[in-house]
Amino acid sequence: MAANFEHVSLVDDPEHYEKTFSTFMDHKFPPNSREAWVPMVLKHGNIRTCISRLEQSGKSLRVIGIGSGTGVEDCKLINGLLEMYPKIHITVVEPNEDHIRQYQETVASTENLQKADWDWRQQSWDDYLTFRRETNDSSKFHIMTSVYSIHYVQGGLDAAVDRMVDCLKDGCVLLICINRKDNGLGMMSDWPWRNDHFIGLGDQFDSLELKESLERRGLLCEEAVLAEYCDVADCLERKNESDARDLEDFMTHVVNFRERAPSEVYVRFMKQLQDPKICSREKGRDFIDVSGDVIIAKRE
**pLDDT for 81-100, tens place per residue?**
999 999 999 999 999 898 89
**SS3 track for the chain:** CCCCCCCCEHHHCHHHHHHHHHHHHHHEECCCHHHCHHHHHHHCHHHHHHHHHHHHHCCCEEEEEECCCCCHHHHHHHHHHHHHCCCEEEEEECCCHHHHHHHHHHHHCCCCHHHCEEEEECCCHHHHHHHHHHCCCCCCEEEEEEECCHHHCCCCHHHHHHHHHHCEEEEEEEEEEEECCCCHHHHHCCCCCHHHHCCCCCCCCCHHHHHHHHHHCCEEEEEEEECCEEECHHHHHCCCHHHHHHHHHHHHCECCHHHHCCHHHHHHHHHHHHCCCCEEEECCEEEEECCEEEEEEEEC
Sign of the dihedral through C-alpha 6, 183, 296, 18: positive
Angle at which helix 72-84 crosses helix 97-108, to 10 degrees, equals 40
Structure confidence by residue, pLDDT tens digits, 153-167? 777 788 889 999 999
> What pLDDT is attached to residue 121?
97
Confidence grade of residue 212 (pLDDT, cut at 50, 70, 90): very high
Using the predicted structure, report yes or no on whether residue 203 has a pLDDT greater than 50.
Answer: no
CA angle 32, 252, 279 (to 5 degrees): 65
Residue 28 amino acid letter: K
The mean predicted confidence, pLDDT, of the chain is 87
Percent residues over pLDDT 70 in the chain = 93
The closest alpha carbon to 231, from 250, 216, 214, belongs to 250
Rank 11-15, 39-43, 97-101, 244-248 by mean pLDDT and report only the highest: 244-248
Using the predicted structure, report yes or no on whether residue 198 has a pLDDT greater than 50.
Answer: no
Mean pLDDT in residue range 119-135: 95
> What pLDDT is attached to residue 45?
84
End-to-end CA distance of the chain: 45
Contact 74, 65 (CB under 8 A): yes
The closest alpha carbon to 74, from 49, 98, 97, 42, belongs to 42
Mean pLDDT in residue range 90-117: 95
Contact 178, 211 (CB under 8 A): no
The closest alpha carbon to 72, from 109, 111, 90, 99, belongs to 99
Q: CA 173 from chain center: how many Å?
A: 17
Judged by average pLDDT, the poorest of 79-83, 89-93, 107-111, 236-240 is: 236-240
Using the predicted structure, report yes or no on whether residue 193 has a pLDDT greater than 70.
Answer: no
Task: Tell me how far apart the alpha carbons of residues 165 and 153 are, in angstroms, rounded to a whole number.
Answer: 14
> What pLDDT is attached to residue 191?
63
Using the predicted structure, report yes or no on whether residue 264 has a pLDDT greater than 50.
Answer: yes
Percent residues over pLDDT 90 in the chain = 51
